[in-house]
Structure 1
Amino acid sequence: MISVMFVGHLRELALSGASMATSLASVTGFSLLKGMGSALDTLCGQSYGAKQYHMLGIHMQRAMFVLLLACIPLAFIWANTGPILMAVGQDPDISAEAGVYARFMIPSIFAYALLQCHVGFLQTQNIVFPMMLTSGITTLLHILICWILVFKSGLGNRGAAVANSISYWINVLLLALYVKFSPTCTKTWTGFSKEALHDVLNFIRLAIPSAVMVCLEMWSFEMMVLLSGLLPNPKLETSVLSISLNTTAVVWMIPFGLSSTVSNEEEVVNYVAMMMPVLALSIFLDGIQCVLSGTARGCGWQTIGAFVNLGAYYLVGIPSAILLAFVFHFGGRGLWWGIICALIVQGLSFIIITLRTNWEQEAKKAIDRVYSSIIPVVTASLS
């Protein structure tokens, strides 16, 4: 959000390019890694509940190994962002700007992968304050880094991409130092171990549906930005949809700030003001489904969640968005109303699933999952 604000003070094309690059980066990288990392919600959460504390460190190392490997092909995709966007019909000028921005963001994807592993490791232990503190420190530094690299170094919007990479690495390094030296993690982090490589396939089996579940939801939001590039006046529509997406991401902090601080263009500011009531409704609905999705991940229902998100977003949400935006000519507002339709279907589906669940049976499944992950480690140790 901070990076978009700084780029918004440049020119409209720079904001559009950064917005498009960020959306493609989220679709092809961040959402995938976040989804794969969310497998730790199940594995670490259930191991911690079973008091198998040493397994949390093993699970995190396993996740780090798998996610870093996944970053390699994703980096090649980011390096070719410009040609990819032009191939799907985006504006050539915006595509070129986005391609440059994405290449400068490549280092951030490796830091983001490690960050998701550390967050999952700490969050399942209810260690929240250190994450808040390190994020706060990183955010303050990010403001300074963005100001220097965007306005003072002459890099322009490329400076914002470099600032993203630097800040992600600062954040993950701070958390890594906390995990290594904090007494609260002595039981769960005992150092690097080759045992983390013994059960990789089982982690991947859970990480893939976890990624599908998260990606199907996040992709639908980012697709609104990509679709906005096909509307008349793509620079305006892309800028506004990006601001709208960032507003939903930071609504708990400063939901009112973006309409006046992100862009100097009066047309953009007025359009964003019209979008705010629509965003308010989507934020309310998204809050409900976020809680229910967390329940699904904790229980290991990622496959069920993936089907729910597939139906809600791709059978209801995106077709509704395309219909409202391109047939009824509601523009960016029509795209976002499609998201609201998806959120309603998603929330209702998760409510029904939660109410009809046999929780005693789910507890037995959790016990089986915990002890099945311990057996390979014990066997390897004995051998």
Structure 2
Amino acid sequence: MCNQTAAAADKLSPTHIYFHYPEKHRHGADYLCGSISEIISEATSLFNLAFPIALTGLILYSRSIISMLFLGYLGDIELAAGSLAIAFANITGYSVLSGLALGMEPICSQAFGAQRHKLLSLTLHRYVVFLLFTSVLISFLWINMADILVYLHQDRNIIGIGQRYLLFSLPDLFTNSFVHPIRIYLRAQGITRPVALASLFAVILHLPISFLLVSHFNFGVAGVAASASISNFIVLVSLVAYIWVSGIHEPTWERPSFECLTGWKPLLKLAAPSCVSVCLEWWWYEIMIVMCGLLVNPKAPLASMGILIQTTSLLYVFPSSLSFAVSTRVGNELGANRPFKARLSAAVAVFISAMMGLSASTFASALRDKWGRMFTSDTEILRLTSVALPILGLCELGNCPQTVGCGVLRGSARPSTAANVNLGAFYLVGMPVAIGLAFYLGVGFSGLWLGLLAAQVCCAGLMLYVVGSTDWGLQAKRAHMLTCIDLRQPDGFDCNKGEEEQPLICSA
């Protein structure tokens, strides 16, 4: 049995900033209080976690930019085909693996906060097995990409080149089945530098490998895909080597055993909604690429959409890094039974995310006439990119807070709530707006981005409401149930309540 009282560190100093919360969530205090020193300390902790993650994201982004530049070098049709293939890969593969892997984040972060090191290692082993099995299923889908896209009325010439790209990306699925769980396993412990160093080493080699395969051996789009797969494999090998030589895994490491093939029920309960939450948002961007193929003269819209997706991927690095950081902080503090600290971390992260949104919007609008020239000189592609960039910037005003809100929900093991918010915002609001504007009102390419803007505004509002009305004391009790620190059901629990109020079953 863990001590259920708050830690001494949660005591307040005389100067406070107040955040109002609804009556039913006050737990004996009228307001959420945080001293200036506590807020600065929390912001520093978030920064120390988020900075290496952001650096890793920028490094990996530079790798994708290199791939896009080589596709553009090969020609506009190769750029369009590569964009379509990458969209298909993201929709059916990368988003699925990433989303499923995030299901282990609340278990690992809360287990580390609760000092349950065996559970941390066991979760890593379970998820590697789970993702490898999933990758086998996804590979069959990738092999049949051409038939699927022909059914969706995509251009056959573009499909043929895109299929070649996808076939040479198949090894990447199995590499990611190891990379994603290892990254989360380390991040839950506050260890982020090894991933950044491994990614940097791989990107340094990515450019010469791409040049060798694409320009020297003339492998075309197959060379671009193969170089990306090789680069990611280098990340995996470098990361494992660094971990093993440095010994940073030793405090929490357990040898793999047959136990990792059992106890999957809690895993699936978190992995499935985590996957849905990630995919619902990720798929939206890729579905926009598919819808571009249905517009008149789709080559320019497809190429422009590929450029814009790369742009929003760059801007997404920063709120996603903060999202991962706050997820770890919230999970660690809930696992350690410090609900006040978890609540303070969420509040500080949401405030920082609002500042990020303003910065991203300014960046996108300021470079509207220059950004596309990095990728192509085609006049029509540049025009479409210039028109959509300010809309993309406005989307970031909502995207940054909602991304960080998702991180808070992950850390508190509430993936179903995040999935419901994304479903309502993106598909019940954003999708009808996008289709109506693009195809029925004749707005065309820009209409797709206006639909995204409607979705992001709705999603941000819903996410902020959910985070702001969280009962943090109850979430700390749920964390104890998840990590089996306290096997008793807390007083007042109703098994008929929803995810927000329901305890999780034991994970080990």
- Structure-1-length-normalised TM-score: 0.94
Structure 1 residue 324: deviation in Å? 1.3
Query: Is 2:249 aligned against 1:185?
Result: yes
2:215 is matched with which residue: 151, 160, 170? 151
**Structure 2 residue 440 is matched with structure 1 residue 327:** yes
Which residue of 1 is the match for residue 160 of structure 2? 96
Residues 1:329 and 1:87: Cα distance change in structure 2 (over 3 Å): same
Give runs of ≥4 in structure 1 deviating > 6 Å.
372-376
Q: Deviations over 1:260-297 (max 9, x none)?
A: 22224232233222222122222332111111000011
**2:429 maps to what in 1?**
316
Describe how 1:60-79 pairs up with structure 2 within 5 A. 60-79=124-143
Residues 287-312 of structure 1: per-residue CA shift (max 9 Å, x gap): 11111000011111111111111111
How big is the shift at 1:53? 1.9
Amino acid at match of 2:441: F
- The within-5 A match list for 1:5-16 is 5-16=69-80
Distance of 1:318 and 1:280 partners within structure 2: 19
Cα pair distance change 1:51/1:63, threshold 3 Å: same
Residue 178 of structure 1 deviates from its aligned partner by: 2.6
| Structure 1 counterpart SS, 2:450 | helix
Match of 1:241 among 291, 301, 305: 305
AA partner of residue 469 (structure 2): R
Number of the residue aligned with 2:376 = 263
1:10-52 CA-to-partner distances (Å, cap 9, x unmatched) read: 1111111111010011000000110000012111011011011
Greater alpha carbon shift after TM alignment, 185-194 vs 69-78: 185-194
The aligned amino acid for 1:196 is C
Equivalence for 2:359? none
> Shift of residue 376 of structure 1?
7.1
Q: Percent identity?
A: 31
User: Is structure 2 residue 416 aligned with structure 1 residue 303?
Assistant: yes
Alignment: residue pair count: 377
3-state SS, counterpart of residue 250 of structure 1: helix
Cα displacement (A) at 1:211? 0.5
Q: Indicate which of 233, 236, 256 corresponds to 1:172.
A: 236
TM-score by length of 2: 0.71
How many angstroms does 1:181 deviate by? 2.9
- Counterparts of 1:319 and 1:151 in 2: how far apart (Å)? 43
Preserved CA contact (<8 Å) 2:103 2:267: yes
- Displacement of 1:190: 3.1
Partner of 1:30: 94
* Alignment partners' CA distance in 2, 1:370 and 1:356: 24
- The residue type equivalent to 1:269 in the other structure is L
Tell me, yes or no, if the aligned pair for 2:266 and 2:507 is still in contact at 8 Å: no
Q: Distance in 2 between matches of 1:132 and 1:37?
A: 19
SS at match of 1:247: helix
Tell me the equivalent position of 2:145.
Answer: 81
Cα distance in 2 for partners of 1:179, 1:58 equals 17
Cα deviations across residues 194-227 of structure 1 (Å, max 9, x unaligned)? 2222212321221111101111111111110110
Per-residue deviation, 1:258 = 5.2
- Amino acid paired to 1:306: A
Distance 1:153 1:290, change over 3 A: same
Name the SS for the 1:89 alignment partner.
coil
The more displaced of 88-97 and 27-36 is 88-97
Please show how residues 114-125 of structure 1 align to structure 2 within 5 Å: 114-125=178-189
Unmatched 5+ stretches in structure 1? 378-383
More off after superposition, 333-342 vs 173-182: 173-182
Other-structure match for 1:366? 479
Could you tell me which residue of structure 2 aligns to residue 49 of structure 1? 113
Q: Flag structure 2 segments of 5+ consecutive residues without an equivalent.
A: 1-63, 319-362, 488-503
Query: Are the counterparts in 1 of residues 395 and 457 from structure 2 also a CA contact under 8 Å?
Result: no
Q: Which has the larger radius of gyration?
A: 2
Q: Quote how far apart the aligned CAs of 1:192 are.
A: 2.2
Deviations along 1:106-139, whole A, 9 cap, x unmatched? Answer: 1111111211111111111111122112112222
What is the SS of the residue equivalent to 2:255? coil
More helix by share: 1
Deviation at 1:8, TM superposition (A): 0.9
Out of 272, 286, 310, the position equivalent to 2:385 is 272
* Closer, same or farther: CA 164–289 of 1 in aligned 2, 3 Å: same
Query: Secondary structure at the residue paired with 1:75?
Result: helix
- Distance in 2 separating the partners of 1:29 and 1:53: 30
Counterpart residue identity of residue 383, structure 2: N
Task: Compute the displacement of 1:321 (Å).
Answer: 0.8
Structure 1 CA distance for aligned equivalents of residues 262 and 247 of structure 2: 27
Over the aligned positions, Cα root-mean-square deviation in angstroms equals 1.9
1:380 corresponding residue in structure 2:
none
Structure 1 position 137 matched with structure 2 position 201: yes
What one-letter code is carried by the residue in structure 1 that aligns with 2:278?
V
Q: State how far apart, in whole Å, the 1-side matches of 2:250 and 2:101 are.
A: 22
Determine the C-alpha separation between the residues in 1 that align with 2:298 and 2:452.
Answer: 20
Q: 2:467 aligns with which of 327, 350, 354?
A: 354
Q: 2:191 aligns with which of 127, 134, 146?
A: 127
Distance change (3 Å), C-alpha of 1:374 and 1:212: closer
Q: Is the 8 A contact 1:54 1:187 kept in 2?
A: no
Residue in 2 that maps onto 1:344:
457
Give distance in 2, aligned partners of 1:284 and 1:356.
Answer: 21
Shift of 1:374: 10
Quickly say closer, same or farther: Cα 1:374–1:364, change in 2 above 3 A: closer
